[in-house]
Amino acid sequence: MLKDKKVSYSGIQPSGNLTIGNYLGALRNFSQYSDEYQTFYCVVDMHAITVRQVPAELRRRTYETLALYIAAGLDPEKNTLYVQSHVPAHAELAWILNCYTMFGELSRMTQFKDKSAKHSDNINAGLFTYPTLMAADILLYQTDVVPVGVDQKQHVELARDIAGRFNQAYSETFTIPEPIISKSGMKIMSLADPTKKMSKSDENANAVVYILDDKDTIIRKFKRAVTDSDTCVRYGEGKDGINNLMSIYSCVSGKSYDEIEREFEGRGYGDFKLAVGEAVADTLAPVQAEHARLLSDKAYLESVMKNGADTAAYFAQKTLSKVKKKVGFLI
């Protein structure tokens, strides 16, 4: 596929308040592509409604998520920032790709299995076909790289399979995307159950540190984090809670596990938890301040999302027209 620059694409659902998992696993890594790549970062509100949302809260979090993108370092002049439902090509391509995605493939997606277990009263078709919409999101922009947390790797792999299948049936149409999983922050775990991913939709607010939590709340949550009966700060088997805290501390301080073990030698978990809480709060403070400033200027956020949607629609339409022609639609 001929293009001036490689393309980076990713998105976050406004399905809850964003967590440090979303920040360290995804958002914080987006801006490293801004100079060399053409970048599209989307607030994926259409994905969010696969689970029931309160409409007013979804609207609020859509603004907040966009503001967090900018506060985390994404300059709207350099990155296309937009809201998924503002670009109808996503839904159109998703329908077409549904016809090139197998029932068996979707049945194997672990997120579908997890979410249908969690929302057994609402196992809707959208939850099942979520990965096809995600494939459409990515493939519309001829994406080369998708920076995501490790939990989304399986979905990006499915997008690659769908793209390959379509290309094989109709000749080269889509760029085959690569998932990029940052080594640090690949999977931040729940503070209440460190065998489980930290998720913004977790009902236990103490399990989750939100990007917008204030310093006292952050420290309180880390103080309560589940650990083990050992007292030694070291990375190891059977120490899921400490491993998770070490991984978070390493992400925000840039220190290696060896350095962290040395720093806390002979000191208890209490000291360590406090240090993690303070380091996380210090990392988030500038993002929170910028977020608050941006949120007080809704007109600005609306202009960003409008310009972003116009740019995204232009590029999306190019791919969509090609796809429609190839499958035999009259255009």
User: Which one is catalytic: 183, 197, 215, 325?
Assistant: 197
Rounded Cα distance, 113 and 303, in Å: 38
* 3-class secondary-structure state, position 82: strand
Can residue 34 be called a binding residue for ligand AQP (CB under 6 A)?
Answer: no
Residue with tokens 């939100």: 210
Selected catalytic residue, list 187, 200, 215, 298: 200
Binding residues for ligand AQP, how many (CB under 6 A)?
Answer: 21
Minimal distance, residue 13 CB to ligand AQP, in Å: 4
Smallest separation, CB 101 to ligand AQP (Å): 19
Annotated active-site residue 197? The verdict is: yes
- Among residues 22, 63, 62, 21, the alpha carbon closest in space to that of 247 is found at 21
Question: Minimum Å distance from CB 187 to ligand AQP?
Answer: 5
DSSP letter for each residue of 85-140: GG-THHHHHHHHHHTTS-HHHHHT-HHHHHHHHHTTT---HHHHHHHHHHHHHHHT
Query: What is the smallest separation between the CB atom of 57 and ligand AQP, expressed in angstroms?
Result: 13
CA distance 233 to 196: 21
| Contact characters 269-288, ligand AQP, x per CB under 6 A | --------------------
The verdict on 198 binding ligand AQP (CB under 6 A) reads yes
Can residue 244 be called a binding residue for ligand AQP (CB under 6 A)? no
- Rule CB under 6 A: say whether 97 interacts with ligand AQP: no
CB of 19: closest distance to ligand AQP in angstroms? Answer: 6
The window from 21-29, 55-63, 227-235, 307-315 that contacts ligand AQP (CB under 6 A) reads 21-29
Contact pattern for ligand AQP over residues 123 through 152, marking x by CB under 6 A: -------------------------xx-xx
Picking from 169, 139, 93, 159, the residue whose alpha carbon sits closest to that of residue 326 is 169
Closest C-alpha to 43, from 20, 25, 60, 24: 60
Segment near ligand AQP (CB under 6 A); pick from 93-101, 198-206, 226-234, 306-314: 198-206
73: CB partners within 8 A, 6+ apart:
30, 31
241 contributes a contact to ligand AQP by CB under 6 A: no
How many Cβ atoms sit within 10 Å of the Cβ of residue 181? 20
Q: Does 221 bind ligand AQP (CB under 6 A)?
A: no
- By CB under 6 A, tell whether 16 contacts ligand AQP: yes
**Are 251 and 257 spatial neighbours (Cβ–Cβ below 8 Å)?**
no
What stretches of the chain adopt beta strand conformation (E)? 7-12, 38-43, 80-83, 145-147, 178-180
- Which residues sit opposite 83 in a β-bridge? 43
Q: Does 187 bind ligand AQP (CB under 6 A)?
A: yes
Is 21 a residue that touches ligand AQP (CB under 6 A)?
yes
Instruction: State the nearest-atom distance from the C-beta of 116 to ligand AQP, in Å.
Output: 12
Rounded to whole angstroms, the Cα distance separating 264 from 232 reads 8
Least Cα distance to 277 among 259, 253, 258, 243 occurs for 253
Question: Which is nearer to ligand AQP, 177 or 264 (by Cβ)?
Answer: 177
Q: Count CB atoms within 10 A of the CB of residue 254.
A: 9
**Judged by CB under 6 A, does residue 200 bind ligand AQP?**
yes
Please say which residue, 245 or 323, places its beta carbon nearer to ligand AQP. 245
Q: Which of 6, 78, 115, 183 is catalytic?
A: 115
Catalytic residue positions, numbered: 115, 197, 200
- Which residues in this chain contact ligand AQP in the complex, by CB under 6 A? 12-13, 15-16, 19, 21-22, 25-26, 148-149, 151-152, 185, 187-188, 197-201
